[in-house]
Amino acid sequence: MATEHRNPGTKRQAGIASPASTNAAPSTDTHPPMATLLREGFRWFAERLNEAAAAGGERRISGAAAIVISYLHPEGSRSADIARAMGVSRQHIHTVVRELTDAHIVTTTADPTSRRDRLIILTPDGEQRRHRALTTLADLETELAQHLGTSEFTQLRDLLTRLWSPTSSLPPRQGRE
């Protein structure tokens, strides 16, 4: 017997969960919502990155910490700017920055343009970790390309780029730069 997965905002009709008040294709056990698939893809990458980091003797970090690292600019970033870009509270960013500071991945320094702000910057260890993570991500993409085939992998990348690149025609979400 298949397990029934119900999400808030879905109705159960004739054995199929369909989105409430949308005309989207109904979700089924074999075709979950696209958001679920994207989330699981992100988790796959995050878990594999953590496995590679741990194998190299590095500390595992949370998914939120990995996302914060991806928003850091080389010259440093303010927590308020990262929070706005991610659509989360500054308090959440401060919690994640503590995790990253404890792991010696980032440090904070006075912002030369503002007396009240601090910049979050990668430590030398954090820079090395980011470099290794980018190499691991490239390896993971190669693995996906082998699994899907080059043509389908290229198509997937092109579609995701079209949807979520900075030049996307989708309406921008709040905080999107």
pLDDT score recorded for residue 15: 41
Please give the residue that has the higher pLDDT: either 176 or 132: 132
pLDDT, tens only, 24-72: 667 787 889 999 999 999 999 999 999 999 999 999 999 899 999 999 9
Average pLDDT over the chain reads 85
What is the domain class of 34-163 according to CATH? Answer: mainly alpha
Can you give the residue ranges of every domain in the chain?
Answer: 34-163
pLDDT, tens only, 126-157: 999 999 999 999 999 999 999 999 999 999 99
Residue 26's nearest CA partner among 42, 8, 46, 11 is 11
DSSP conformation class of 111: -
Residue 153, SS3? helix
Measured CA to CA, the distance from residue 77 to residue 114 in angstroms comes to 12
What letter represents residue 56's amino acid? G
Q: Which helix (H) or strand (E) holds 35?
A: helix 34-55
